Amino acid sequence: MSTLRLILGDQLTRDIAALDGLDPEHDIILMAEVHDETVYAPHHKQKITLIFSAMRHFAEELRAEGLRVDYVKLDDPGNSGSLTGEVARALARHGAERVVVTEPGEWRVLDMMRGWGAMLDAPVEIRDDDRFFCSRGRFARWAEGRKSYRMEFFYREMRRETGLLMDGDAPVGGQWNFDHDNRKSLPASLTPPQRARFAQDAITGEVMQLVAQRFPDNFGDLESFGWAVTREGALEALDYFIRACLPRYGDYQDAMKQGEPFLFHATLSPYLNCGLLTPREICIAAERAFKQDHAPLNAVEGFIRQILGWREYVRGIYWLRMPDYAQSNALDAHRALPWCYWSGETQMNCIAQVVAETRRNAYAHHIQRLMITGTFALIASLDPRQVEEWYLAVYADAYEWVELPNTHGMALFADGGLLASKPYAASGAYIDRMSDYCSGCAYDVRKKSGPGACPFNLLYWRFMIVNETRLARNPRMAMPYRTLAKMAPERRATILQEAENFLEALESGAEARGPGQTKLAL
Ligand code: FAD
Ligand code: DLZ
Ligand code: SF4
């Protein structure tokens, strides 16, 4: 009996569940580049290149092991353009009797797969994705009966269960979380480690040509592509991170610096999310660095928390709450995504820098995503769906299971506080404290209103005013609402009017020509 085993573009892990029990003589491994997966979001050119090149390299590695791989390229004649169509065609080609898949990362794809059994007239087995520390069932048990799902409590359970950074029953160092040590701004004298680009081989070159030809108008630079596309390359990137970046990862985790897109961050998420690295091996490598006195506890704990805590937690929330999760719009935000998110054409230096780096690298680090493009989207009341589509498109690591809770929940508070206990609203002062963007900006971060005032300042108070009935009772918002209570009605009106003028100028494109282009008449 022969089995068709499907491997998706983000399942490039040798011991993926779909390959368990593989019969090398009879079974066929199917991998397919399909039109539908390239267009459900307008992906960055580098994201498509990374996935296709990594898929093609992975297929070669499986073949080198003597396994039978049926690989369908995007421009192969007869390619049906969908995963369903390719599974159907492969079943017919090989006369296989059943299909085995690993559960996909997205609800959309799982929903599609659930229809395959009836449609294809062959049994379809969907296996759990056991690459995560926490299964979907385990998360649901943790969540049951809780009024709110705070990451910190989930994370502690994961620490206990995995034994990572544990000293018997107690956390190593006597504390679960060292975040208070991890908020330093970057000294001007400190140069972050430089990242080498991985050389492009013939396979990547061929994929880049295909992407240039098929997706010429997609967002992002293609020429600067330098991601690793094999497990060997991804392991090299992991090794470099542990050696050169991890020791200072904690200290400068929240910092931002113009011209330094990576700082001390791992830049490993694209590899983790497509399967070239596993979360377990990364956490073990980080823990080893602590045990060998190579990296301090605040750095290693902070790093492990991102993977063992946040990454597992957002996946848990996604599967617990989908498909309804994506529908909410708790702050009733409806403004269209401004064009500057794609073009970078704005006088706001912070946004312009992050968009330019995103275009060049298909990457921005967490604080840029959360506190620059994320905070702006929140305080300008941008439509969650449009913001989510942007985040799903522009980053090489973006898959809905991880993108959606981060955007919908953490950045936009569109879930009404399921994931975050308060909105991450901030004024320009926060950005000024944590970055050097403001010194090169056409706006004045110290100005709260009037000509040239930082738009984050205007929009911050606009956000507090328009959401007063929704947020004023949140105990974590008490401070800004105490300040707002003291604000004279005329001052409120001025802020609302100036913020509206700014948003209109942004929408029309006039803002990009200079701060004076907003009608700051009041
Ligand atoms: P590091 O800062 O070095 O962190 C190490 C690892 O921890 C990352 O590789 C990642 O796997 C994990 N991690 C860190 N923070 C998170 C988090 N909040 N959620 C899940 N995993 C986390 N991450 C994605 O992988 N894909 C996305 O599509 C994505 N979209 C995001 C959208 C928004 C609005 C925000 C605020 C965050 C998003 N993140 C996303 C989380 C985070 O920004 C990225 O994981 C991180 O920037 C990846 O870079 P890094 O590998 O250098 O991370
Ligand atoms: C993101 C992506 C893209 C662009 N293309 C493909 C593809 O052609 N074939 C494939 O198997 N997977 C692709 N992927 C990854 C899938 O979108 C991903 O597996 C699903 O979204 C489930 O997470
Ligand atoms: Fe951004 Fe305001 Fe600073 Fe300009 S002044 S970089 S808009 S925070």
Domain hosting residue 66, numbered range:
3-127
Total number of domains in the chain: 3
Q: Is residue 356 part of a domain?
A: yes
Query: What is the per-residue pLDDT across 311-360, written as a single tens digit (0 to 9) for each?
Result: 999 999 999 999 999 999 999 999 999 999 999 999 999 999 999 999 99
Q: Do 103 and 162 sit in the same domain of this protein?
A: no
Q: Do 258 and 378 sit in the same domain of this protein?
A: no
Q: Do 204 and 68 sit in the same domain of this protein?
A: no
Q: Do 110 and 147 sit in the same domain of this protein?
A: no
Measured from the Cα of 40, ligand 2's closest atom is 17
Closest residue to atom 1 of ligand 3, CA basis: 350
Query: What is the per-residue pLDDT across 467-509, written as a single tens digit (0 to 9) for each?
Result: 999 999 999 999 999 999 999 999 999 999 999 999 999 999 9
3-state secondary structure 1-41: CCEEEECCCCCCCCCCHHHCCCCCCCCEEEEECCHHHHHCC
489's CB contacts (< 8 A; 6+ apart) are none
For residue 519, pLDDT beyond 70:
no
Taking only Cα atoms into account, the Rg of the chain, rounded to an integer number of angstroms, comes to: 24
Test site for ligand 2: of 51, 126, 391, most ligand atoms within 8 A of the Cβ: 51
Please identify, among 127, 160, 176, the residue that sits at the C-terminal boundary of a domain. Answer: 127
Q: Do 40 and 144 sit in the same domain of this protein?
A: no
Closest-lying ligand to the alpha carbon of 264? Answer: 1
Please identify, among 127, 151, 166, the residue that sits at the C-terminal boundary of a domain. Answer: 127
Residue 520's pLDDT is what?
A: 39
Bond preceding residue 323 cis, omega within 30 of 0:
yes
**Pairwise CA distance, residues 394 & 235, whole Å:** 24
Q: Do 156 and 301 sit in the same domain of this protein?
A: yes
Q: Is residue 334 part of a domain?
A: no
Closest residue to atom 7 of ligand 2, CA basis: 33
| DSSP tag of 335 | B
Closest-lying ligand to the alpha carbon of 10? Answer: 2
Q: 505 CA distance to ligand 2 centroid (A)?
A: 37
Q: Is residue 54 part of a domain?
A: yes
Residue 297's pLDDT is what?
A: 95
Percent of the chain with pLDDT over 70: 98
Q: Which residue has the higher pLDDT, 302 or 147?
A: 302
DSSP string, 405-419: IIIIIIIT-TTSSSS
| DSSP tag of 339 | T
Query: What is the per-residue pLDDT across 82-120, written as a single tens digit (0 to 9) for each?
Result: 999 999 999 999 999 999 999 999 999 999 999 999 999
CATH number of the domain residue 425 falls in: 1.10.579.10
Q: Is residue 330 part of a domain?
A: no
Query: What is the per-residue pLDDT across 53-62, written as a single tens digit (0 to 9) for each?
Result: 999 999 999 9
| Residue 400 near ligand 1, beta carbon < 6 Å | no
DSSP string, 126-170: EE--TTSSS-HHHHHHHHTT-SS--HHHHHHHHHHHH-TTEETTE
**Pairwise CA distance, residues 468 & 474, whole Å:** 10
Please identify, among 105, 127, 149, the residue that sits at the C-terminal boundary of a domain. Answer: 127
- What amino acid is encoded at 124 in this protein? V
Closest residue to atom 46 of ligand 1, CA basis: 366
Residue 400's pLDDT is what?
A: 98
Measured from the Cα of 349, ligand 3's closest atom is 6
Q: Do 174 and 39 sit in the same domain of this protein?
A: no
**Pairwise CA distance, residues 331 & 338, whole Å:** 18
Residue 522's pLDDT is what?
A: 29
For residue 517, pLDDT beyond 60:
no
Q: Do 94 and 224 sit in the same domain of this protein?
A: no
Q: How far is CA 492 from the centre of its chain?
A: 35
Residue 521's pLDDT is what?
A: 32
Q: Is residue 29 part of a domain?
A: yes
CATH number of the domain residue 99 falls in: 3.40.50.620
Cβ 203 vs Cβ 50: under 8 Å: no
**Distances from the Cα of 387 to the Cα of 2, 46, 244, 391, 461, angstroms:** 44, 20, 34, 6, 21
Q: Is residue 141 part of a domain?
A: yes
CATH number of the domain residue 312 falls in: 1.25.40.80
Q: Is residue 85 part of a domain?
A: yes
Query: What is the per-residue pLDDT across 279-307, written as a single tens digit (0 to 9) for each?
Result: 999 999 999 999 999 999 999 999 999 99
Q: Do 362 and 492 sit in the same domain of this protein?
A: yes
Measured from the Cα of 410, ligand 1's closest atom is 36
Average pLDDT, the chain: 95
Q: Do 196 and 122 sit in the same domain of this protein?
A: no
Q: 413 CA distance to ligand 3 centroid (A)?
A: 22
Q: 478 CA distance to ligand 3 centroid (A)?
A: 25
Helix, strand or coil for residue 125? Answer: strand
Measured from the Cα of 431, ligand 3's closest atom is 8
Q: Is residue 328 part of a domain?
A: no
For range 225-241, the mean pLDDT = 97
Q: Do 395 and 451 sit in the same domain of this protein?
A: yes
Q: Do 162 and 232 sit in the same domain of this protein?
A: yes
Share in percent of the chain as helix, strand, coil (round to 5) = 55, 5, 40
